[in-house]
Amino acid sequence: MPLGPDSTERIARARGDLRMGVPVVVGGLVVAAAETLTPDRLTALRGLGGAVLAITARRAATLKARPYDGDIARLRLPEDVGPDWVRSVAEPADDLAKPLLGPFVALRGGDAAAHRAAIGLAKSAQLLPAVLAVEVADPTALADAEGLTRVTLAEAAAALAEETHLAEVVSARVPLAVSRAGRVHVFRPADGSEEHYAVEIGSPPRAEPVLARLHSACFTGDLLGSLKCDCGAQLNAALAQMGAEGAGVLLYLNQEGRGIGLANKMRAYSLQDQGFDTVEANHRLGFEDDERDFRIGAAILREMGFSAVRLMTNNPAKIEMMRANGIEVTDRVPLKVGHTAENARYLATKAEKSGHLL
Ligand SMILES: Nc1nc2c(ncn2[C@@H]2O[C@H](COP(=O)(O)OP(=O)(O)OP(=O)(O)O)[C@@H](O)[C@H]2O)c(=O)[nH]1
Ligand SMILES: [Zn+2]
């Protein structure tokens, strides 16, 4: 058995490298995340050839750049700009204060698949979805010479599309205020990404529909009691109902900020303070409204032996995704708690734009 990393492990390394600011090789490109680009690395990348900044079509729409590659756009890097320009294109904080970043020259034609995969990697590293990319003639030789992590285009594309394999690492009894019979299970993905947790209350029979909640992490709502969302109240209400019924399972999925991570969620909050709603803020950052992978929740439920749930949610997309991933939803149990003056607009936007049931 070889000692070196396989493709899944190299993808995990690539994510870590991008977060640190180390370039990686994806297919025929050397890429670096816009967010973590240093002046030295920019100079070194320019030395390899003409660089382009690849961004999503969402971000391009805000910048009024032409997305000739469908869901992404490749912008030619001007000769005279530094990392600040790259970051300003990627990061919308100063869009309103600095409206004159363009005009942008967007490339058309050629193959953008590796750029797309690199943006996917940056997203999965919870970075802003923007990468600086330079095409090189011999990517393998360059990766070997510079000690860069290298993944082929096929490996990157497959890793981004495939379902993450999760295995339970451990579970232990945790008596809770809502029920003495609490148990926390920890699930670890094979691809080096975030762990997820399941809180089991009582001993729900596996053959019957279980009262279930798929809760996405919200540091601000769950821990700090933020009034900007309803998450903390929903978490507590779900656990309380499971305690009252004596059985249930709450999945605590580490998909902070609908999958964009806490740093990006705080960027979205800053944009919300500039007047944009929760969906517009995600788009200006270059993300889709919701970047969560709901297959993870279904996989954990299956792993625990459940095949049917009474799902506590106001989000019809969660119900559809459960059904699409082999979990029967026998009932929807509404969770209408935590409405505040501060989150009224947020909840109204989710109802109007994302189809949430109020
Ligand atoms: N990007 C972004 N994420 C947010 C914002 N406000 C809250 N969140 C995140 O939204 C997610 C809400 O998760 P859930 O409550 O499980 O999901 P939901 O889609 O609201 O559905 P239900 O609560 O089940 O009805 C959490 O990950 C929060 O961190 C925001 O303004 N922007
Ligand atoms: Zn929240």
Question: How far from 73 is each of 14, 103, 131, 142, 283, CA to CA, in Å?
Answer: 22, 14, 11, 26, 14
Q: What pLDDT, on a 0 to 100 scale, did the predictor assign at position 339? A: 85
pLDDT in tens, the chain (358 residues): 589 999 999 999 999 999 999 999 999 999 999 999 999 999 999 999 999 999 999 999 999 998 899 999 999 999 999 999 999 999 998 888 776 778 899 999 889 999 999 999 999 999 999 999 999 999 999 999 999 999 999 999 999 898 889 999 999 999 999 999 999 999 999 988 999 999 999 999 999 999 999 999 999 999 999 999 999 999 999 999 999 999 999 999 999 999 999 999 999 999 999 999 999 999 999 999 999 999 999 999 999 999 999 999 999 999 999 999 999 999 999 998 878 888 888 788 888 887 777 6
What would you measure as the largest C-alpha separation in the chain, in angstroms? Answer: 65
What separation in Å is there between the alpha carbon of 43 and the centre of ligand 2?
Answer: 40
Residues 273, 279, 285, 290: is their CA dihedral positive or negative? positive
What CATH fold (topology level) applies to the domain 166-255+292-354? Answer: Rossmann fold (3.40.50)
Residues of the chain with CATH 3.40.50.10990: 166-255+292-354
Please tell me the CATH code under which domain 7-160 is placed: 3.90.870.10
Q: Is residue 230 flagged as an active site residue?
A: no
Residues of the chain with CATH 3.90.870.10: 7-160
ipTM confidence score: 0.97
Select from 273, 356, 339 the least CA-distant residue to 92. Answer: 273
Q: List the residue whose alpha carbon is closest to atom 3 of ligand 1.
A: 257
Q: What pLDDT, on a 0 to 100 scale, did the predictor assign at position 1? A: 59
Residues 35, 41, 45, 50: is their CA dihedral positive or negative? positive
Q: Give me the torsion for CA of 37, 38, 41, 47, rounded to 10°.
A: 90
Contacts of residue 221, defined as CB under 8 A and 6 or more positions apart, other chains included, come to 228, 229, 230, 231, 232, 233, 235
Contacts of residue 12, defined as CB under 8 A and 6 or more positions apart, other chains included, come to 191, 192, 193
Select from 75, 77, 85, 130 the least CA-distant residue to 106. Answer: 75
Q: What pLDDT, on a 0 to 100 scale, did the predictor assign at position 103? A: 87
Report the C-alpha gap between 229 and 154 in whole angstroms. 39
What separation in Å is there between the alpha carbon of 345 and the centre of ligand 2?
Answer: 14
| Neighbour tally for 15: CB within 10 Å | 24
Task: Tell how strand 24-26 and strand 328-333 pair up.
Answer: unpaired
Select from 338, 337, 319, 336 the least CA-distant residue to 327. Answer: 319
Report the C-alpha gap between 75 and 55 in whole angstroms. 8
Is the model's pTM score more than 0.90? yes
Q: List the residue whose alpha carbon is closest to atom 6 of ligand 1.
A: 229
The residues facing 106 across adjacent strands are 75
Q: Nearest 5 degrees, angle CA 126-CA 131-CA 133?
A: 150
Tokens at 91, concatenated: 């990061």
Which position has the token pair 């935590």? 338
The active-site residue, picked from 74, 150, 267, 292, is 292
Report the C-alpha gap between 275 and 334 in whole angstroms. 29
| Neighbour tally for 180: CB within 10 Å | 12
Burial class (CB in 10 A: 0-12, 13-18, 19+), 306: buried
The active-site residue, picked from 87, 290, 293, 302, is 290
Q: List the residue whose alpha carbon is closest to atom 2 of ligand 1.
A: 257
Q: Nearest 5 degrees, angle CA 59-CA 64-CA 65?
A: 75
Q: Is residue 292 flagged as an active site residue?
A: yes
